[in-house]
Amino acid sequence: MRKPNGELSFRFLIISGWLVISAGSTPLERSTYIIHMDKSLMPKAFTSDNHWYSSTIDSLEVVSSLTASDHSPQYSSPQLLYSYNHVIRGFSAFLSEAELKQIKKSPAFVSAYKDKKVVVDTTHTVDWLSLNPSTGLWPASKFGKDVIIGVIDSGVWPESKSFRDDGLPPLPAKWKEIYFNKALIDRQPGIKITMNSPRDIYGHGTHTASTAAGNYVENVFFFGYAKGTTKGLLGQKEVIPQMLLPETSAAMQKGILLSASAGNDGPTHGNLKNDIPWALTVAASTTYRSFAGTLTLGNGLTIVGWAMFPANALLENFPLFYNETLALCDDFEMLSRSPYAIIICDDTGRVLDQLEYVARSNVVGAIFMSDDPVIFERGGVPWPGVVISQKEAPAGIKFQQTIIGKKPAPTVALYSSRGPSRNCPGILIPDVMAPGTLVLAAYIPSRPAAMIGGTIQLSSDFNVLSGTSMACPHAAGVAPMLKAVHPEWSPAAIRSAIMTTAYRLDNTDSPIRDNGNQLRMASPLDMGAGLIDPNRALDPGLIYDATSQDYINLLCAMNYTRRQILTFTMSKHYNCSNPSNDLNYPVFVGIYENKTSAIVQTFKRIVTNVGDKAATYKATVTAPKGTVVKVSLDKLVFRKKYERQSFFLTIRYTSREDGTVQFGWLTWMQDNGRHSVRSPIVISPLMINI
C-alpha cells in the first residue's frame, strides 16, 4: 500500500492502534488533558491549528463509536475543549488514557498532562512567566541540574525550607566553597561583624536567593495572604552565598552572565543604579495578583478593595464615620477625638502618611480613598484598613484575601529606575523587566516581616517584598538554565535571547503601561525590551552576539583612560585600534543633546541563526514618531545553523520638538512564523520631559 502523507498517515496510526488496544476493553473513563504540540510539524493539509487539532479528535470519535457496547454516558465521544496558540502550542481535550496514547504517536506530539485543581502559587511569578515541568525551559535545562547561581547579597538563612536539598543530586564537582571576608576586615581592622559567616541577618539575600533558585515549599503564606506553594526559578539549586563582588567584566569574559537590578529610584528618568554594558539589567513589574480586603456595608453592598493588614482582624457592625476635617487623616490630635468607628480618609495624595497616622491612633479601622500606586506596590499596612477608589453606611472589613486576574498586568512599577544610561547612552538600560512587586519568598525569622500599629513586630519565615532586587533574581534564574541548554552561548547571546523574545503586551493585549506615568504606554527606557518570557528565550531564532573585544571597542570609544580600561580587561594586551560606540546589541538607541545634533544615525548589526536549520527572515519596522527608519536588507537568508548575516539600520530625524521619548520596533519574522525576533528602536534626548 502506498505510504500516506500528513493527515492520512496520522489518522491511520490512530485508528489501527486503537482497534488493537480496544479489543475487549473495559468501559472508557475520560479526563481532561492538556496537550502540547510542535506546530512546525503540522501537516500542510490543515488550514489552521484548530483545524489540525479538531481533525485529530474527530479521528478518535470514529474509533470510540466502534468500541462502545452501550449508550451510557461513560462512552461519550472525546471532545476538543480549547486550542492554544499564544503562550503554548496545543489543545485541551476530554480523552481516555487509550486515546491519549494514540495522540502520543503523532510526530508532532510534545507532552501531555492531566488537568487538575491546584492551589494558586504564592510565588506565583513562576506561573506568571509560564514555566512548567512539562515543556519549555525547565525540562529542557533538566531543571537547572549542575547549574550554579552566584548571589551577591546579604547571605542566606540555611534553615529555610526553601534551601532544603530534598531529592536533589549531589553538588556538581566543579563547586568550590569558600567564604570571602578577609578584604573587609583588612579595610576596617576594628569592624565588628555580627555574623562572621554567609548567614543572612538582614533577610534580603534569603529572599532574592530563594526567588532565583528556591526549592518547593508547600502551604506557605504571608499572614494569610498569597497562600500556596513557593518555588524559585530553578527546580534544582546550588546557591553561592558569598559576599565577594567579582570584576563583572572578568565574569563576562569567562562566560558568566551578570544579572543586576536597575534600582528603585523611579519614576524619574536617568537614575539607574546599574548601567554596566555587559550585564543584564532588570526593571521591576507588577503582576496580575492583588491582595484584598472586602468592605461590607450595612445595606449589603460589598466593595473589594486593597489590603495587606497582617492579621485576621474581626471588624463587624461598626459605625462608618466621615467628617470632612477628620478625613484628612493627618493629625494625631484630630484622630484621637474620632468616635469608635471605621473612619473614611479622603484622597490627599499622601496615603503612606495617612497610614502612619491611623496606625498610631485608636480608631477601629479605616477606609482610604486613594488611587496612589505607591501603596499597591509597597504593601505594609500596619492597621486594619482597606484602600478603595469610591465612597459609599454600618460597615465591616474582611482581610487576608488574594485575588488573581488583576488587569492591566504587568505594568512598570512606580519605583523602578529608568534610563537612559548616563555612562553608556548607546545601550538600552534596563534591558528587560521581570516581576518585582510584592513577591513572596523566604525570609529570616530574626527580623520583623510586618507590623501592627507602631510597636508590635511580627516575624515570618516568608515575606512579601517589592523592588528591582526582587525582579533581578527572576532573570538570574532564567539565564543559567539557558546556558545549561545552550552551553555554547556567550553572555551576550543569552541576553539577546531574553531581550528579543520578551513580552511587550499586557493581559489585555495592549502595550504594557507605566504605573509611574499615569498608566500611559511604557517606553523601553522604562521596561527595556519587555517582560521576560523564559520559554521563548529557549529558542529565539536569531541572536545578536558580542565578544569581549566588542566590549573593549566600546570602552575605547567612550574615552576611558588606559588605566581605566585595564580594570576591565585585567590585561595590558588589549586592542583599541577599532573603537566603536556601536555594540552588536539587540537595540537601536539614538540619544541627542539638542535639536541640531545627529540628524542621521546608522547602526551595523550581525545576527546569528541559532535555529535548527536553514531559515529566511523578513524585516518589519515600526518607526518612532518623528523619524524615518530604513533597513539595508528587507530579507535575511540563512542556509544553515550558526550562519551569520549583517545589516544596517538608519534613523533619519524629521522632528524633535517636544523632548519626550519616542520608540518603535524592528522585527525579523521567520517566513514560516515560527520565530519573531524583536528589537526596540529608541529616540531620546539626554534630558527627558515626562
Which tens digits make up the pLDDT trace of 625-668? Answer: 989 999 999 999 999 999 999 999 999 988 766 678 899 999 99
| CA 232/CA 220 separation, integer angstroms | 14
| CA 402/CA 259 separation, integer angstroms | 30
Enzyme catalytic residues: 153, 204, 469
pLDDT single digits (tens) 529-566: 999 999 999 999 999 999 989 988 988 888 777 766 76
State the pLDDT at residue 621: 97
pLDDT single digits (tens) 436-487: 988 888 888 888 887 777 778 888 888 888 999 889 988 888 988 899 899 9
| CA 547/CA 524 separation, integer angstroms | 24
Each residue of 43-53: b (16+ CB within 10 Å) or e?
A: beebeebeebb
pLDDT single digits (tens) 126-141: 666 777 777 777 777 7
State the pLDDT at residue 119: 33
- What are the Cα distances from residue 227, in Å, to 116, 132, 418? 18, 19, 32
Asked if residue 63 has pLDDT above 60, the reply is no
pLDDT single digits (tens) 104-129: 888 888 778 776 543 333 345 666 67
Asked if residue 5 has pLDDT above 60, the reply is no
Nearest to 226 by CA among 120, 92, 85: 120
Give CB contacts under 8 A, 24+ apart, made by 273-276: 273/417, 273/468, 274/429, 275/419, 275/421, 275/422, 275/423, 275/424, 275/427, 275/429, 276/248
Q: How many CB atoms lie within 10 A of CB 148?
A: 17
pLDDT band of 18, cuts 50, 70, 90: very low
State the pLDDT at residue 120: 31
Nearest to 438 by CA among 589, 551, 306, 277: 306
Asked if residue 178 has pLDDT above 50, the reply is yes
State the pLDDT at residue 28: 59
pLDDT band of 88, cuts 50, 70, 90: low
Do residues 502 and 478 lie in contact, with contact meaning Cβ atoms separated by under 8 Å? no
H/E element, 128: helix 125-128
Give the three cell numbers for residue 150: 552566584
pLDDT band of 92, cuts 50, 70, 90: confident
Average pLDDT over residues 190-212: 77
Q: Who has greater pLDDT, 590 or 510?
A: 510
SS (H, E, C) 625-641: CCEEEEECCCEEEECCC
pLDDT band of 687, cuts 50, 70, 90: low
Do residues 410 and 433 lie in contact, with contact meaning Cβ atoms separated by under 8 Å? yes
pLDDT band of 493, cuts 50, 70, 90: very high
pLDDT band of 435, cuts 50, 70, 90: very high
Average pLDDT over residues 368-385: 80
State the pLDDT at residue 563: 64
Give the three cell numbers for residue 622: 515600526
State the pLDDT at residue 75: 41
Judged on CB neighbours under 10 Å (0-12, 13-18, 19+), 164 is: middle
> 3-state class of 167 per DSSP?
coil
Q: Who has greater pLDDT, 399 or 474?
A: 474
pLDDT single digits (tens) 601-616: 999 999 999 998 999 9
| CA 597/CA 253 separation, integer angstroms | 35
Asked if residue 235 has pLDDT above 60, the reply is no
Strand partners, 164: none
Do residues 608 and 566 lie in contact, with contact meaning Cβ atoms separated by under 8 Å? no
Nearest to 433 by CA among 352, 341, 498, 342: 498
In sign, the C-alpha dihedral spanning 167, 170, 171, 177 is positive
Lowest mean pLDDT among 20-24, 155-159, 643-647: 20-24
Q: Which is it for strands 239-240 and 149-150: parallel, antiparallel or unpaired?
A: parallel
DSSP per residue, 434-463: EE-SSEEEE--TTS-SEEETTTEEE--SEE
pLDDT single digits (tens) 250-276: 678 778 888 888 989 989 888 888 888
Percent of the chain whose predicted confidence (pLDDT) is above 70: 77
Judged on CB neighbours under 10 Å (0-12, 13-18, 19+), 224 is: middle
